């Protein structure tokens, strides 16, 4: 039985430059800030950054892993507050994802608050999912 305060199993994901290339192809977002250090730095970024929607998708994976059913996610939203800088090396960037059940509702749904961190700092703000709980 799911209860307020329950924690989702942590999910750690390494994002590498190759992941950015694959995501660019899938999303058709070929902005050079996601693959070219020189361009990223020229616009004031510390280096190549992951696509915000990729970061949001990884946080969504935390929830779908927990529910076991992607269709159980009824609502999902987040704000982008800090970029994930992806170095051009084998390690890439580590994104640490956690979640906690904020409330269980009478209608059989639950609100899950999600935390996504890179280098110990939040990269998503107000990341919230509403999920349908199993009957």
Quote the pLDDT of residue 135.
Answer: 80
Read out DSSP for 71-96? GGEEEEEEEE-S--B--SSSS-EEEE
Per the CB < 8 A criterion, the answer to whether 46 and 85 are in contact is: yes
Q: Which two tokens stand for residue 34?
A: 């996601």
Classify burial at 98, counting beta carbons within 10 Å of its beta carbon; exposed 0-12, middle 13-18, buried 19 or more.
Answer: middle
The pLDDT tens digits for 38-53 are 999 999 999 999 999 9
Per-residue pLDDT tens digits for 90-106: 999 999 999 999 999 99
pTM of the model: 0.94
Identify the three-state secondary structure at position 67: helix
Q: What is the pLDDT of residue 108?
A: 97
């Amino acid at each position: 039985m799911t209860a307020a305060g329950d924690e989702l199993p942590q999910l750690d994901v390494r994002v590498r430059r190759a992941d950015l290339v694959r995501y660019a192809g899938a999303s058709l977002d070929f902005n050079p800030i996601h693959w070219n250090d020189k361009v990223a730095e020229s616009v004031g970024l510390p280096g190549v950054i992951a696509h915000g929607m990729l970061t949001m998708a990884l946080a969504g994976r935390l929830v779908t892993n927990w529910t076991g059913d992607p269709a159980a996610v009824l609502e999902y939203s987040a704000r982008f507050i800090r970029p994930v800088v992806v170095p051009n090396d084998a390690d890439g960037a580590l994104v640490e994802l956690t979640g906690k059940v904020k409330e269980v509702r009478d209608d059989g749904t639950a609100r899950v608050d999600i935390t996504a961190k890179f280098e110990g700092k939040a990269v998503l703000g107000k990341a919230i999912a509403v999920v349908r709980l199993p009957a």
